[in-house]
């Protein structure tokens, strides 16, 4: 029974909603960054590096062959190509670095906003006893 009660408290506090919102925003942010990398950054970078598309870079270990057929009879089956796709690895590293940098910038912006909120001027401290006494004397002299 304690587990159900703890779960209810967890769900009612809003932790689940906060987590769900964070995940949804994270997925959307990931799509934006993937598009930024694939559609905006990589084409010019590939062009600068000699019109290279990173996703096509690979080291072929075994070339693939087509099936040899005689009519409808298969004489030799097709052999799939075996390769190390290091271009995809490079692409994923670049994606990760850009996502990490964007998250860094977002967190830095949020921290600067928090600092501005903290720096907001507080109520001025109450005047000292001497100032209060001097104001009373001034008011009495005006009368």
Whether the model clears a pTM of 0.85, i.e. scores above it, the answer is no
Q: Which domain covers residue 44, as residue numbers?
A: 1-52
Cβ-proximal residues to 65 (8 Å cutoff; 6+ apart), any chain: 76, 78, 79
Confidence of residue 120 (pLDDT cuts 50, 70, 90): low
Task: Identify whether residues 65 and 91 lie together within a single domain.
Answer: yes
| Number of domain units in the chain | 2
Residues 65 and 132 in one domain: yes
Examine the pLDDT at 103 and tell me if it is beyond 80: no
Is residue 123 included in any domain, yes or no?
yes
Identify the band that residue 97 occupies on the pLDDT scale cut at 50, 70 and 90: confident
């Amino acid at each position: 029974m304690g587990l159900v009660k703890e779960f209810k408290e967890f769900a009612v506090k809003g932790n689940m909603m906060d987590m769900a919102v964070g995940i949804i925003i994270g997925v959307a942010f990931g799509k934006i960054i993937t598009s930024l990398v694939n559609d905006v950054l990589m084409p010019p970078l590939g062009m600068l590096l000699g019109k290279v598309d990173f996703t096509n870079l690979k080291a072929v270990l075994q070339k693939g062959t087509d099936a040899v057929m005689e009519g409808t009879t298969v004489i030799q089956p097709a052999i799939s190509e075996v390769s190390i796709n290091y271009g995809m690895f490079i692409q994923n590293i670049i994606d990760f670095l850009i996502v990490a940098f964007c998250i860094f910038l977002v967190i830095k912006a949020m921290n600067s906003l928090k600092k501005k909120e903290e720096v907001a001027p507080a109520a001025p401290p109450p005047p000292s006893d001497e100032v209060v006494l001097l104001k009373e004397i001034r008011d009495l002299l005006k009368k």
